[in-house]
Amino acid sequence: MSVHAAVDLGASSGRVMTVRIDGDRLDLTETHRFANRPVRVGGTLHWDVLALYRGVLDGLGRAGRVDSIGIDSWAVDYGLLDASGRLIGNPVHYRDERTAGIMERVSAELGAGTLYQVGGLQFLPFNTIYQLLADPLLDRAETLLLIPDLLAYWLTGSVGAEVTNASTTGLYDVRAGSWAHDLADRLGLPSRILPALRPPGAPAGTLRADVAAEAGLPGATPVTAVASHDTASAVAAVPATGGRFAYISSGTWSLVGLELPRPVLTEESRLANFTNEGGLDGTIRYLRNVMGLWILQECLRAWGESDLPALLAAAGRARPFEAVIDPDDPAFLPPGDMPARIADFCARTGQRPPTGRAEAVRTVLEGLALAYRRTLRDAVRLSGQQVDVVHVVGGGARNAPLCQMTADATGLPVVAGPVEAAALGNALVQARAQGVVSDIRALVRHSERLVTYEPRGDRAAWDAAEMRLAELTAELPPD
């Protein structure tokens, strides 16, 4: 029997989960949940990183005695430390618009192909590399720490860069498995600020005595470098057997793709904008970021509506394909009035906007299912890996209409669950590092409740919707 604290930070809330492992039994308790509310200051959107740290301390205090602690969060964002180890400035949110135009400039100067050959990343405007080029504090920095590494540093005093998250920076050489110092030099970025890499499962120090005293914990509790990118932790806990599976890590984002033994860095793959992120045990997450439930979350915020189950039920009854949208349209990236942006997308493409809230929700879900279908088809084509099943993990595994639409649109069975995949992957990597667990996926399969959605026979409607969207968006003027 062992007990682990999994700190899992998401875009809208953070949690400390206590995970007990006893043979084949897994027991997961949400010990503490706290809001993660971004703050705009002086026109820049920040994370409130001290409030997050406060939440972590409170949660660890409530969890009490544990065998180890691990932290995962969203990727790409970072804090900078000065020579004395103090945080300079407040980490900036990846949805801030400070990076506007930088990705295009770097791609033109260095060649998009060069960037892709090294980092293998999907071209997203917020990749760390572009944020650093927009960061006025860089000159004063001695150390760059990605968010989970920053929090771990505050807990332990130990500095390091966990590999799965480092692989999302654009400064990590995905083939060599090391920092891409040459690329940093060419961009004029100081590669001395990049700390030594740590693979998931490696020790990341022990709780500092003063921190342990403040949190009311035993001193010297070990902190493990888990797969600290939340998507890496979530995919580690996908309850798949064998290799012929796809996954959708479904939360604020939908991360849609495959697990591969090595990266795909072809020109075709670059043009299809697929990423090659580092996973547990040297695996590659070959995927695309689909905009995800973010659009729905922002709709609820704009409507002041909190009853998601009722809306989903109504969306399930609404008329199919009133309008078709592309959730990956850049207009949907920044926070804002999403219902108005959906209406605007419809106007730009000559469609009538959805008539009510249920219809708008249905339009979002159908748009997501269409994007999943496109992405999975491309992933299979570009990698040559076949799939028989789609695993949906994360909060979206609870979204029954979306899971059913995903099965219908892809023509594949969808296995939904676990909802808490990131926290489970986090805790199970800790447990494996301590020799308590050997096969993470088998344990998740045996202990978690999973729901299967079989595809229904209306694929023609999805084919037609996909064709309609392709025609409507082909005429869109470039941004």
Sequence-distant contacts of 468-471: CB under 8 A, at least 24 apart: 468/321, 468/324, 469/324, 469/325, 469/326, 469/367, 469/370
Q: Interface with ligand LFR includes 255 (CB under 6 A)? A: yes
The footprint of ligand LFR on residues 147-206 (CB under 6 A) is none
Pick the stretch among 200-208, 252-260, 345-353, 439-447 that binds ligand LFR (CB under 6 A): 252-260
Element housing 463 (H / E): helix 459-474
Which of 62-70, 169-177, 249-257, 305-313 is the region at the interface with ligand LFR (rule: CB under 6 A)? Answer: 249-257
Among the residue ranges 40-48, 74-82, 108-116, 440-448, the one whose residues contact ligand LFR (CB under 6 A): 74-82
The beta-strand segments (E) located in 261-338 are 275-278, 284-290
- Contacting residue, 5, 17, 19, 76, with ligand LFR by CB under 6 A: 76
The total number of residues written for the chain in this structure: 479
Q: What is the DSSP letter of 384?
A: -
Please work out the total of residues on this chain that contact ligand LFR, with binding judged by CB under 6 A: 12
Q: Does 75 bind ligand LFR (CB under 6 A)?
A: yes
Among 63, 81, 91, 94, binds ligand LFR (CB under 6 A): 94
Residues 310, 395: Cα–Cα separation, whole Å: 16
Q: Name the residue nearer to ligand LFR (CB basis): 318 or 379.
A: 379
**Judged by CB, which is closer to ligand LFR: 59, or 278?**
278
Which is closer to ligand LFR, CB of 94 or CB of 247? 94
* Interatomic CA distance for residues 360 and 362, integer angstroms: 5
Contacts of 46 (CB under 8 A, 6+ apart): 38, 39, 40, 90, 91, 92, 93, 96
Contact between 231 and ligand LFR per CB under 6 A: yes
Calculate the CA 105 to chain-centre distance.
25
230 near ligand LFR (CB under 6 A):
yes
Least separation, in Å, of the C-beta of 47 and ligand LFR? 11
CB 59 within 8 A of CB 18: no
| 253 touching ligand LFR, by CB under 6 A | yes
What are the distances in angstroms from CA 127 to CA 120, 182, 299, 330? 12, 18, 25, 15
Shortest reach from residue 402's CB to ligand LFR, in Å: 17
Non-local (6+) Cβ contacts of 252 within 8 A are 10, 11, 12, 74, 292, 293, 294, 297
Strand partners, 21: 2, 26
Candidate residues 74, 116, 274, 453; the one interacting with ligand LFR per rule CB under 6 A: 74
Say which of 149, 230, 378, 408 is annotated catalytic: 230
Q: Give whichever of 260 and 465 is closer to ligand LFR, judged by the CB atom.
A: 260
Is 289 among the residues that bind ligand LFR (CB under 6 A)?
yes
* Separation between Cα atoms, residue 452 and residue 396, nearest integer Å: 14
Active site residue 230: yes
Evaluate the omega torsion of the peptide bond into residue 418 and state whether it is cis, within 30 degrees of 0: yes
- Contacting range for ligand LFR; rule: CB under 6 A; set: 211-219, 223-231, 350-358, 381-389: 223-231
CB of 231 to ligand LFR, least distance (A): 4
Least Å distance between CB 395 and ligand LFR? 11
Quote the least distance from Cβ 318 to ligand LFR, whole Å. Answer: 28
Compute the least distance from the CB of residue 10 to ligand LFR, in Å: 6
Nearest approach, Cβ of residue 76 and ligand LFR (Å): 4
Nearer residue to ligand LFR within complex by CB, 280 or 472: 280
Q: Which residues are known to be catalytic? A: 230
Name the site residues for ligand LFR (rule: CB under 6 A).
Answer: 74-76, 94, 229-231, 251-253, 255, 289
